[in-house]
Structure 1
Amino acid sequence: MLLLIPGLLKLGAWDILKGWTGKQDMDIEPRIALQLVNESALCVNRVRRKSSLNHQGFQLLNGMGRLVSDEQVHLLLNSHTMEDTYNMMLNLGIQRKLSGHYQGDLIAIDPHRIISHSKRVMATKKKNPDVPSQKMLQTFFSVSAETGQPIMATMSSTGMPTTKASLDLIGTTGQIIKAPSLLIADKEHFTNDLFESVSNNRNIDLLTPALNSQRIKKILTTLEYNTLRAGFAIAETDFYFDSQNTKYRLIAERFGEKGYRYGGFLTTSSVDAQTLLCEKYDKRWSVEEFFRFENDMGLNRASTMNLNIRYANLSMAMLAQAATYELRKNMTSEYSK
């Protein structure tokens, strides 16, 4: 935990926490928030219940002589709105940008859904097509595809449509990454509203897989393909959403020598098709790697559907993850993960 202090100092974590709480150096509220950051960095839930840490100096890392109670934490988190936390996440993202955590022009966006056992009456959603619908908390992340580091995260209840949440996420990400970027996403983002919005933004392009609909299948099988290597060929055509006039590029890929398999991608980018498919889109998996390696910091828990509390908890985990990344950057490769 002591090794994270330089990273927290570089990111201006103390000033970020003071800004979020609205308190000063001598107040306890920023120290409670710092305790939450350090708990997230340990990847252990509810550290304050483990009294052994109280005898190892953990409380001193937070600038206190004791560990605060669950009630104190709950009252602090519940006293701040999602807007307060959004501003904190924005400040953190700007600091991370200045610290070189984001490289290249590729941004991966993806929803991260967490099963909730809330007693609240709420809409249910399928996390996977082959499982029953369940209550869940929806989080939406944008990640730098080159470094695998999170840029921004938003949160909503189950009922928020992916397209609307993604538009909010893209808007907030654009406040941190102002340079022209290519967004790479999955099939959930293959919607007219999302492409229409992105096509009106000069700094952003979008690349997503096309839905496996009968209309798309018919288009893919009738194109003339250019073979790039044995068993792989690509083609391209114009595409319009139903009853819409905006033209997009539909890029098709064909696999095999006989009994072909097809895949389609829709984009607003003017980059050549081979670069988009063979170099750019493969890096989308950086967002899945981010979830895989960082989940235990608190990205996979939804103990309450109080969005003020959950979003604040998420922001503390994001701050802990940023400091941990600063530490990993200075380690040799065999320890960096």
Structure 2
Amino acid sequence: MLAEKISGTLVGLWLLVPEHLRLGSWDLLTAWSGIHDPNRLEPRFALQLVHESALCLAGIRQKRSLRLKGFETLNGLPFVATDASIHHLLDRHTVAEAESLQLALGQLRFAQGDYPGDLVLLDPHRIQTWTQRNVPLNKPKKTAATRKTLQTFFAVNGKSGQPIGCGLGSSAVTITQATLPLVERLSAILPGQALLVGDGEHFTLEMLNRLAEHPRFSFLFPMPRHKAVLEEISKLPFVPLWAGYAVAEWEYHLSDSDKAIRVVVQRTGETVENYVYKPFATTSPLPAADLMTVIFPGRWNIEAFFNTEAALGWKRASTLNMNIRLGRLSMGMIAQALVYRLRQKLPEAMRSWNAESIAKKLFSGIDGDIRVKGDTIIVTLYNAPNEAYFKEQYQNLPQKLEAEGIDPRVPWLYNFKVDFRFK
């Protein structure tokens, strides 16, 4: 196909090529597939999954084939792999292999500065599934109706909003069962100290016992406001910080354990009748006011991550085969890393676009063509938005990559280089 000129509306997806090279995603996919022969199909099938995620589609193969020219070529293939081929590829790999892929991706992203600071946000994210299996029903929110769900468990950097890792399980899996292995993977990605900020679901005796002994991670979890707890809190000596706000501390002794956990409490309201208490369990040495008024409110940044990026692969699920689902989810994590890097290079007005907007307006919304000249694939985008800005970023791309110390040859495109034109 490279010997022919290709026209289509998916040429914008080729803007991810330099981000692949900068991230090193081809090496990740070949390691996951276990096949290092550059001419084999399996890593290219995985690359197709990454690009499908970037397009925010469950599958592109149902579209008319004429529109796909440019998509399959980007994957180094003369065709679009079938659903059966993709299913068999994912089914040949285990949950442990998908977790290893995420671990390697996280280590690469840490080395490239994607995880600044020491704040890690933990959150369970429940995805509706249409599986025919008999599974316990679950609620995505307290006010929602029960339904069949696939549970995902994410860890996101509190400063950049970038995912560090994720796990998943059926609706029968407890948050403790899922979170503790995720924390172990985090410790292999983040070499320094970190503060884990969760929600009320993370407050379990097993979780507190295990995390209280962690050598590098501390935690901050809201504490259930049971009647006995509130009675104990009401007796504490509170220190007023400003009108209507006071803080206190006490030691909470875990049942069936000799451990005592630091509890910080905020009290809002001006009179006894209006007092509202909110306790937090923590092993952090930071001042109570900082933990409750600065750090914990920042936890809601994880909702911004889900709202912006969920369409890349954690919005809905059709299967509960865990190895297949986690394989797809991990490919979505690679796509998210690529889109994040691309977003940093977009004009300021476009950086706030969510993943679906980027997929619609940039990856599949620009007409263009692809041709070969010598050892370089020339991708031409017609009437691209902010053309001058894109020219500065992408024209003469091989020279720009070489200046960064990156080999501009694209291994899955048989070592052709890629350059861009904007007309």
TM-score, normalisation: structure 2: 0.77
Q: Secondary structure at the match of 2:241?
A: strand
Return the offset for 1:38.
Answer: 0.6
Aligned to 2:332: 317
Return the offset for 1:51.
Answer: 2.0
Alignment partners' CA distance in 2, 1:311 and 1:91:
15
Q: Secondary structure at the match of 2:316?
A: coil
Return the offset for 1:16.
Answer: 0.6
Paired residues of 1:220 and 1:263 also in contact (CA < 8 A): no
1:330 to 345, 350, 355: 345
Task: List runs of 5+ in structure 1 lacking aligned partners.
Answer: none
Structure 1 segment 201-240 matched on structure 2, within 5 A: 201-240=214-253
Aligned to 1:305: 320
Amino acid at match of 2:255: D
Paired residues of 1:77 and 1:312 also in contact (CA < 8 A): yes
Do residues 165 (structure 1) and 159 (structure 2) align? no
Judged with a 3 Å threshold, the aligned counterparts in structure 2 of structure 1 residues 253 and 290 are, in CA distance, closer, same or farther, namely same
Judged with a 3 Å threshold, the aligned counterparts in structure 2 of structure 1 residues 272 and 318 are, in CA distance, closer, same or farther, namely same
Return the offset for 1:284.
Answer: 1.1
Measured against aligned partners, the alpha-carbon deviations of 1:35-93 in whole angstroms (never above 9, x if no partner) come to 11011111122112112564441111111112111111111111111111111111111
Aligned to 1:274: 289
Amino acid at match of 1:91: A
Aligned to 2:24: 12
Paired residues of 1:54 and 1:66 also in contact (CA < 8 A): no
Amino acid at match of 2:114: H
Structure 1 segment 110-149 matched on structure 2, within 5 A: 110-149=123-162
Alignment partners' CA distance in 1, 2:228 and 2:220:
19
Judged with a 3 Å threshold, the aligned counterparts in structure 2 of structure 1 residues 53 and 160 are, in CA distance, closer, same or farther, namely farther
Aligned to 2:276: 261
Aligned to 1:196: 209
Measured against aligned partners, the alpha-carbon deviations of 1:200-239 in whole angstroms (never above 9, x if no partner) come to 1120101011112112211222222111112211111111
**Larger deviation, residues 170-179 vs 257-266:** 257-266
Return the offset for 1:125.
Answer: 2.4
Paired residues of 1:54 and 1:67 also in contact (CA < 8 A): no
Alignment partners' CA distance in 2, 1:53 and 1:262:
62
Measured against aligned partners, the alpha-carbon deviations of 1:117-140 in whole angstroms (never above 9, x if no partner) come to 211122222322334432211111
Aligned to 2:40: 27
Aligned to 2:52: 39
Alignment partners' CA distance in 2, 1:308 and 1:53:
33
Task: List runs of 5+ in structure 2 lacking aligned partners.
Answer: 1-12, 353-423
Return the offset for 1:332.
Answer: 3.9
Alignment partners' CA distance in 2, 1:149 and 1:168:
19
Paired residues of 1:110 and 1:142 also in contact (CA < 8 A): yes
Alignment partners' CA distance in 2, 1:227 and 1:251:
14
- The structure having more radius of gyration, on CA atoms, is 2
Alignment partners' CA distance in 1, 2:42 and 2:222:
45
Q: Secondary structure at the match of 1:130?
A: coil
**Larger deviation, residues 91-100 vs 253-262:** 253-262
Count of aligned pairs between the two proteins:
337
Judged with a 3 Å threshold, the aligned counterparts in structure 2 of structure 1 residues 246 and 63 are, in CA distance, closer, same or farther, namely same
Judged with a 3 Å threshold, the aligned counterparts in structure 2 of structure 1 residues 205 and 55 are, in CA distance, closer, same or farther, namely closer
Q: Percent identity?
A: 37
Q: Secondary structure at the match of 1:143?
A: strand
Q: Secondary structure at the match of 1:48?
A: coil
Give the CA RMSD over aligned residues: 1.4
Q: Secondary structure at the match of 2:61?
A: helix
**Larger deviation, residues 228-237 vs 307-316:** 228-237
Return the offset for 1:283.
Answer: 1.6
TM-score, normalisation: structure 1: 0.96
